[in-house]
Amino acid sequence: MTVVYYLLLFLHFVGWAIVLGGTVTNIREPKLANGVLHGALTALVAGILMTGVAEMADGLPELNYVKIGIKLVVAAVITALVIVAGRRKDGPSSGLIGAIAALTTLNVAIAALWR
């Protein structure tokens, strides 16, 4: 189970990297890069699966459910904003792209700094 957990962690990181890279590079020319929705969904699903695997496995760090809950809410908001940005006929605004980038950075900061 430890291998599965760390494989999911890797996919989680890759998903957030796609979202952050795809938004930061397009803030000046507001558009949604290809793959940002897939990156957000990958990170969201991998995070949920990581929690389930960590709950079942022995030898992994104990879970902090408050941290997981906050990260889940932030990830759901990011995914919703990406969906809204992708469906806008006139294209997303710089503010919307910036909000997605800022929330992604917040989610990564919560993961890295909250112990």
Q: Is residue 115 scored above 90 in pLDDT?
A: no
Q: pLDDT tier at 60 (50, 70, 90 boundaries)? A: confident
d(CA 115, CA 112): 8
Cβ-Cβ contacts under 8 Å for 41 (sequence gap 6 or more)? 15, 79
- Tens-place pLDDT, residues 9-18: 999 999 999 9
Q: What percent of the chain has pLDDT over 90?
A: 88
Single-letter amino acid, residue 28: R
Sketch the domain layout of the chain as residue ranges: 2-113
75-107 pLDDT, tens digit per residue, is 999 999 999 999 999 989 999 999 999 999 999
Residue type, 112: A
Phi/psi zone of residue 85: left (φ > 0), alpha (ψ -120 to 50 degrees), beta?
alpha
Euclidean distance between CA atoms 13 and 52, whole angstroms: 17
Burial 88-101 (b: 16+ CB within 10 A, else e): eeeebeeebbebbb
